[in-house]
Amino acid sequence: MTLLKATKIITLVSITVFALSVFWNKKAWSMDLNQFKWKNRLLFIFAPQNSDPFFSALQNEISTQRGEVLDRDLVVFKIFETGPSFKNTTQIGHTTAEVIRKQFDVPPGRFTVILVGKDGGVKLTRNAMVKLKDIFALIDSMPMRQEEMRRKAK
């Protein structure tokens, strides 16, 4: 291989690596959470695996109170370190799940619940078991939710 040919290859590889580092950042891999802003509240449940007892308890409450979850416009993300992760019942990729974990700075091996309001702000972060009724009470105390309940009552 000639020196000129080697220099061209090195230059091409360098440009490719640079372009990927600039344009193919973590957002390219992640789900754009802004798509939910002003439409949905987001409940993120992080657990090492789906057999985590805190996760199982909360998931059971969500399953039995599906109507209440839907009434509050909640989208539930179940993010696991092992096995598939989900947005409601739709599986999301492992890479997307890891990017979401990093976005919220949730370390591996920890059960964490994060509630994000329709305005995109974090309303609750809990690193221990939380009851769904407490999440509902928090949501129901928010001005936007109170307005939603008034509109539905009419």
Give the per-residue pLDDT at 105.
95
Q: State the Cα angle at 154 between 75 and 150, rounded to 5°.
A: 50
- For residue 64, the number of C-alpha atoms closer than 13 Å in the C-beta half-sphere is 9
Residue with tokens 């059960």: 111
Give the per-residue pLDDT at 2.
65
Give the per-residue pLDDT at 7.
55
> In the chain, what percentage of residues exceed pLDDT 70?
80
pLDDT digits (tens, 9 = 90+) for 58-113: 999 999 999 999 999 999 999 999 999 999 999 999 999 999 999 999 999 999 99
In this structure, are residues 77 and 110 in contact, taking their beta carbons and an 8 Å threshold? no
Distance CA 83, CA 99 (A): 16
Rounded mean pLDDT, 132-142: 97
Which tokens hold the place of 152? 């539905």
In this structure, are residues 114 and 120 in contact, taking their beta carbons and an 8 Å threshold? no
Give residue 154's pLDDT band: very low, low, confident or very high (50, 70, 90).
Answer: confident
Give residue 145's pLDDT band: very low, low, confident or very high (50, 70, 90).
Answer: very high
Give the per-residue pLDDT at 5.
58
Q: Give this prediction's pTM.
A: 0.79
pLDDT digits (tens, 9 = 90+) for 11-51: 444 444 343 343 344 433 456 888 999 999 999 999 999 99
The yes-or-no verdict on residue 153 having pLDDT over 60 is yes
Which tokens hold the place of 17? 């690596």
